[in-house]
Structure 1
Amino acid sequence: MITALPSAGPTAPDATRDREARLREAAIQLEAGFLKQMLSEAGLGRAPAGLDGGAGEDQFSSFLLDAQARRMAEAGGIGLAESLFEALKARDHG
């Protein structure tokens, strides 16, 4: 009778796919951070003149910028995440 050996962990393709998913997520986070800064410098997140949302608006505007930048990066953004991903992947395999 042959008994099955316990699994030693993820197979090579699974490990590679998992590593690439983590690298892509890191690249998206980097692009989102860059885009958030650019959106902030462009004036997004500031209340228009005459509309004063008070301290609450100031505190939560950063969350809105985070969400907007993240969505932009996930949708392809300016292509920075893809370039970063390729560079990270090449460095990881290099």
Structure 2
Amino acid sequence: MEIQKAALPPATDTERALREAAMELETNFLAEMLKSAGVGETPETFGGGAGEDQFASFLRTEQARQMSRQGGIGLAEAIFQSLKERLHD
């Protein structure tokens, strides 16, 4: 059985930009939550250092981006709908 995404109406360039901005906000939020949860931290017995900390943040951000693209926690959609309503007011 194959799951298909619901068909969305054609989006305007403005709506695409709003959706992308909303997804980026959700990505940043999720990255911070992953950081708070300790995702990407290396145990002290292995390596460490400033370079490793920097690359861990890249990993968390990319993990958060993938989570957002797969539906995330619904934050991007809520932000998008709110921005879209303001646009049409």
Same fold (TM over 0.5): yes
Partner of 1:72: 67
Aligned partner (choices 40, 43, 47) of residue 52 of structure 1: 47
SS state of the match for residue 84, structure 1?
A: helix
Paired-residue identity, %? 55
Aligned partner (choices 20, 24, 47) of residue 19 of structure 2: 24
Deviation string, structure 1 residues 31-79 (Cα, Å, up to 9, x no partner): 0010000000000121024212433211211111111111111111000
RMSD: 1.5
Q: TM-score, normalised by structure 2?
A: 0.82
Q: Distance in 1 between matches of 2:26 and 2:50?
A: 28
How many residues matched?
80
Q: TM-score, normalised by structure 1?
A: 0.78
Unaligned runs of 5+ in 2: 1-9
- Give runs of ≥4 in structure 1 deviating > 3 Å: none
